[in-house]
Amino acid sequence: MKRKFEMDEIVRYCNQYGFIFQGSELYGGLANTWDYGPLGTRLKNNIKDAWRYYFIQSRENSYELDSDILMNPTVWEASGHLAGFTDPLLDCKGCNTRHRADNLLNEYNSSMNADFMSQEEMMIYIREHKVPCPKCGKSNFTDIRQFNLMFATQRGVTQDSSNTIYLRPENAQGEYVNYLNVLRTMRAKLPFSIGQIGKAFRNEITPGNFTFRTIEFEQMEFQTFCKQGIDSETYEFYKNYGIRFFEYLGLSQENLRFHNHEKLAHYAKEACDIEYLFPFGWGEINGTHNRTDFDLTRHQQYSGKPMDYYDEITGKKYIPYIIESTYGLDRIFLALLFENLHEEEIAENDTRIVLNIAPKLAPIKANILPLIKKKHSNQATEIYHILQKMMMVSYDESGSIGKRYRRGDAIGIPLCNYNR
């Protein structure tokens, strides 16, 4: 008998085995921040390596970038984030809790979709239907205000708005503002891609579900620059490529689905998410967008620098279209734990935890366990030192052999796990 883990068990497991700890735990924590421990860091790095292999190394004309988190603030004007990267918020005057108006309505009436309502329509609906606060039950809200999700900080010594800069809310803009640099230095020809792994920050008003929605997270973003006309087929290709990538990581097909967007972002011609079936429901782990020539056209306008591509075959210049496929690293990490972590009953009243993760992702690849310490430890240490040059290995000579095997099973070590 195998039993999957629930969310609270995953959180405990991560803490117990050194995958994820509460951020700033020593000082009582900081809500919705998480620190990856030694095994979590290994697993995260292995997911990144798998992504690098799948998106950079094994593809033609695909280049990796590592751009700065802090960017010239005009980038965020050009991208539309300063004006439009907002959530509609309102406060309950009864208990001082803050809510997203669209979430409030969707939860109040599950048959409606507030995503399609304007700010005014939401306010009228809340007042007319006396929608209650989920915390105190009163219906006494402030007006809706648009709340920008970007974290602002100050550059330099004076507290002056001209020094305000932002922690990036997405990786993508770093790839767009370096498009000409990559084109020039890699002598790239369309279609080509720029990928980047890095942190993004969002002042989310409703974070939660462990690492699913946090204020600091990591994205693996992949932008393909192509000619208008092949944009839709490129978009279809990367939607499907995403499913193949998830299968390559070991997520099963029945837990994955596409969710096509009906309401499109201002820059998108077509958009789709890949969702994973978490214990709390379907949740987005990837998004693919046809962003048209919106971003490069805006950067051309705001920077004054031409962004067009010279097509040697046709002799014409044009601004490429961008197909973006972006992956949430922390969410994929969580999905992999839900997919692969089980409690198994091996005899009456005897269970063991097994992390049945793909060997390429396993934090530790081999477990060296001398059966009898006095007798085998010299030879075992020798083997450990040989293997250590090639892979992550662990050495454990303390406690009963059964307990040592169990720990290896629990953290997904593929070599030396008995019963594998």
Question: Does position 90 bind ligand GAP by CB under 6 A?
Answer: no
Considering the complex, state which of residue 328 and residue 370 has its C-beta at the smaller distance from ligand GAP.
328
Least distance from ligand GAP to the Cβ atom of residue 330, Å? 5
**Ordered DSSP codes for 86-149:** EEEEEEBTTT--EEEHHHHHHHH-TT--GGGS-HHHHHHHHHHTTPPPTTT----BPPPEEEE-
Least distance from ligand GAP to the Cβ atom of residue 144, Å? 21
Of positions 326, 340, 394, 417, contacts ligand GAP by CB under 6 A: 326
Answer whether 94's CB lies under 8 Å from 133's CB.
yes
Question: Does position 205 bind ligand GAP by CB under 6 A?
Answer: no
Exposure string over 119-139, b if 16+ CB within 10 A, otherwise e:
beebbebbeeeebbbeeeeee
Residue 177 vs residues 76, 195, 302: alpha-carbon distances, Å: 11, 13, 11
Residue 284 vs residues 145, 364, 401: alpha-carbon distances, Å: 26, 28, 41
Considering the complex, state which of residue 66 and residue 121 has its C-beta at the smaller distance from ligand GAP.
66
Of positions 330, 361, 368, 384, contacts ligand GAP by CB under 6 A: 330
Size of site (CB under 6 A) for ligand GAP:
18
Question: Does position 62 bind ligand GAP by CB under 6 A?
Answer: no
Q: Which stretch binds ligand GAP (CB under 6 A): 69-77, 153-161, 213-221, 377-385?
A: 213-221
| Cα four-point dihedral sign 380, 384, 387, 391 | positive
Q: Which stretch binds ligand GAP (CB under 6 A): 106-114, 176-184, 309-317, 320-328?
A: 320-328
**Cα–Cα distance, 19 to 59 (Å, whole number):** 31
Half-sphere exposure of residue 107, counting CA atoms within 13 Å on the CB side? 11
Least distance from ligand GAP to the Cβ atom of residue 113, Å? 18
Of positions 213, 239, 298, 365, contacts ligand GAP by CB under 6 A: 213
Considering the complex, state which of residue 217 and residue 321 has its C-beta at the smaller distance from ligand GAP.
217
Closest CA to 307 of 419, 183, 167: 183
The helix or strand, by DSSP H or E, that contains position 79, with its residue range, turns out to be: helix 74-79
Answer whether 395's CB lies under 8 Å from 413's CB.
no
Q: Residue 192, SS3?
A: strand
Within 165-184, which residues bind ligand GAP (CB under 6 A)? 170, 172
Closest CA to 248 of 131, 175, 322, 332: 332
Of positions 287, 363, 370, 412, contacts ligand GAP by CB under 6 A: 287
Considering the complex, state which of residue 83 and residue 386 has its C-beta at the smaller distance from ligand GAP.
83
Least distance from ligand GAP to the Cβ atom of residue 108, Å? 23
1 exposure class (CB count in 10 Å sphere: 0-12, 13-18, 19+): exposed
Of positions 67, 193, 214, 292, contacts ligand GAP by CB under 6 A: 214
Considering the complex, state which of residue 330 and residue 409 has its C-beta at the smaller distance from ligand GAP.
330
Residue with the closest Cβ to ligand GAP?
328
Q: Which two three-digit tokens encode residue 413?
A: 């070590």
**Cα–Cα distance, 53 to 59 (Å, whole number):** 8
Least distance from ligand GAP to the Cβ atom of residue 234, Å? 16
Question: Does position 328 bind ligand GAP by CB under 6 A?
Answer: yes
Question: Does position 202 bind ligand GAP by CB under 6 A?
Answer: yes
Of positions 44, 331, 365, 406, contacts ligand GAP by CB under 6 A: 331
| Cα four-point dihedral sign 24, 29, 33, 37 | positive
Mask 216-235, x = binds ligand GAP (CB under 6 A)? Answer: -x-x-x--------------
Q: Residue 301, SS3?
A: helix
Q: What's the N-to-C CA distance of the chain in angstroms?
A: 16
Considering the complex, state which of residue 324 and residue 339 has its C-beta at the smaller distance from ligand GAP.
324
Question: Does position 194 bind ligand GAP by CB under 6 A?
Answer: no
Binding-site ranges for ligand GAP (CB under 6 A): 170, 172, 202, 204, 213-214, 217, 219, 221, 284-287, 324, 326, 328, 330-331
